[in-house]
Structure 1
Amino acid sequence: MTEIHPTPPGKPANGGTAPEVQILMATYQGGRFLQEQLHSIGAQRYTNWQLFVSDDGSWDNTRDLVASFAAQVGHGRVHLIEGPRQGATQNFLHLIQQAPDNRMLAFCDQDDVWHPDKLAFAVESLGEIKGPAHYAARTIITDEKLAPVAQSRRFNRPLTFRNALVQACMAGNTSVFNPDAAALLKSGVEAARLAKIESHDWWAYQLTSGAGAAIIHDPRPMLMYRQHSQAEMGRNDTISAMAKRLGKLFAGDYGSWVGANLAALSQCRALLTTENRQVLDGVVAALQCRGPFAAQRLRRLGLYRQTTAGTVALLAATTMGRLRQPLSSNNRSR
């Protein structure tokens, strides 16, 4: 492996100041694979980063590994804080709340291995964009020992709010946000926490796309996405994985996730563009209708998943009432 050498914040080729990236890592019992991930962060070609680790009560050697890495890379670059102990999603939301303002943010899983250019390519991709921007990339899916298995999916349809409302396409373990997009996350995070959203990366894709951010999906794989039995989330491109997710769609789990996302977005709707506020309101109203009418309205609103089969399955589940949301107290009073 590449050796880690403590380095001062880097300077870009044009002589300007390199923007600081706050890496947000949620940990829990991560000692088995954490050292390789920390090593890959230390080996990044882009050096102006700080690492915030929120640990959710680990009793293995996770904290010791973080402390050792902090000593290795130099004073003040690694910060260990206490997590909320409410699961991985709440831990990431907690990290967003605790992160400094006016910085780039990068989500980081405890068991992956980053390619040396990951941060450099993300910062480069985001650097020329005015206004909020959200970057993500493909991954190399591996087995437990990091032997490559496949590349993650490449999405061919546009990455928009109408897609984000019904599909998570911006992988959290690759996501990086420029300061304007990070500010959006910080503005909406308390609503997401209270709504008990299922997935921080799905919510982030919804909020950034809904607010009109530039959405960048790099076709180049930027990390090794390790699959193992303790992983919080697994790959979603195999037949068995898709069947499992389809089962959740028709069982109603997906409907409860959508409901939590809609609740979170509705509480910060002022952050969305005018058009996307109208889309959000239309979806909320549609999912309070009986199944066939709800599906018809979603189709008219132009919601879509990345494949035709996925969109058909979404509308079929909606027709069966699996996405129906209860009327709010405000709606009952009208």
Structure 2
Amino acid sequence: MDKPEALTEILLSSYNGAAWLDPQIASILGQTHGNLALRIRDDGSTDATPDRLAEWAARDPRIAWRRGSRNLGPCGSFFRLVDDISPDAAYAGFADQDDVWEADKIARAVAALAALPAGMPGLYCARVVIVDEALMRRGLSPLPARGPSLANALVENIAIGCTIVMNRPAIALLRERWPTPPVFHDWWAYQVIAALGRVIYDPRPALKYRQHGGNAIGAGYTPLDRLLGKVRRQLTSAQSDLRRHQASELRRLFGDRLSPADRAAIDDLLDSEARLPARLRYALTGKAHRQHWLDTLAYKALYVLRGV
């Protein structure tokens, strides 16, 4: 007799997404992985989203949804969904409200995570096909040339949230200690699991990543668009503050569990920024890096100017 498929819960935070929900929910429910539940938290929608969710839930018992008591923003809402993952779920993944998934997305993720050693926290993420509002193909997300690592996760996120699937040890690890205030849920998961588990990057696209005016965080259509977007984000003080806060929270919450090398990498990044000579030294010898050499060069130049 075949072993039954492990339960995988898909976590979706909705907000004014009525225009996009139907094809996305259909693609989630149509996964080849058979044992699947869709858990939705609506983050205060003022459009027809709650009505659409109620209609879907009435038709399919795999869907459970609720209205949040207040608007938490996408990161806070996803953290709340992670806290509510059922004890029966062996895996859980994030979903945006406006994409369309490949039918084998979850099956591929579960197969990759199931191959990890027992008890190892694991996070699967993947490449995406970038599409416009009408789902017309406009490009592919870039492949991470240097691969996933904590040294990369400290300054760049390659784990696009809507592609992430995690195993039970990773879920348990994240739920132990939440950062305050919340940070990007996908970037935080990438950092924690890169430090204390295994991150698996699938180069085969897992979904159609729809770009439109309402994206919380999007991707440009062309390599030039994406490069300019990265430059703009790196130039903002908000991006620098976010990197500093995430690295500081990782050290505060999990510093006692990091390897000596990983703890040193975080210490070097944060403790070198106080003085210009130390920043110059870190720019030349520090471990933190982005995936593309040009991005790394730009990041290190900005680090010299103002820190993390």
- Map of 1:1-334 to 2, 5 A cutoff? 15-74=2-61, 77-82=63-68, 84-101=70-87, 103-130=90-117, 131-188=120-177, 190-191=178-179, 194-197=180-183, 199-211=184-196, 213-236=197-220, 238-269=223-254, 270-287=256-273, 289-323=274-308
Distance 1:233 1:249 in 2: 14
* Deviation (angstroms), 1:220: 0.9
Distance 1:109 1:83 in 2: 20
* Deviation (angstroms), 1:81: 4.4
* Deviation (angstroms), 1:158: 2.6
CA separation of 1:221 and 1:252: change in aligned 2, threshold 3 A = same
CA-based RMSD of the aligned residues comes to 1.8
For normalisation by structure 1, the TM-score amounts to 0.85
Distance 1:282 1:147 in 2: 44
SS at match of 1:210: helix
Identity %: 29
Aligned 8 A contact 2:152 2:290 in 1:
yes
Aligned 8 A contact 1:207 1:272 in 2:
no
Distance 2:238 2:223 in 1: 20
Distance 1:108 1:84 in 2: 20
Aligned 8 A contact 1:114 1:224 in 2:
yes
Aligned 8 A contact 2:150 2:262 in 1:
yes
For normalisation by structure 2, the TM-score amounts to 0.92
Distance 2:191 2:106 in 1: 23
The aligned amino acid for 1:184 is: L
Q: Residue by residue, what CA displacement relative to the aligned partner does 1:72-110 show, whole Å, maximum 9, x if unpaired? A: 222x54232416413111111121122224631101000
* Deviation (angstroms), 1:154: 1.1
Distance 1:36 1:81 in 2: 21
SS at match of 1:221: coil
The aligned amino acid for 2:4 is: T
Residue 328 of structure 1 is matched in structure 2 by none
SS at match of 2:209: strand
Distance 1:18 1:250 in 2: 46
Aligned 8 A contact 1:283 1:298 in 2:
no
Q: Aligned residues, how many?
A: 303
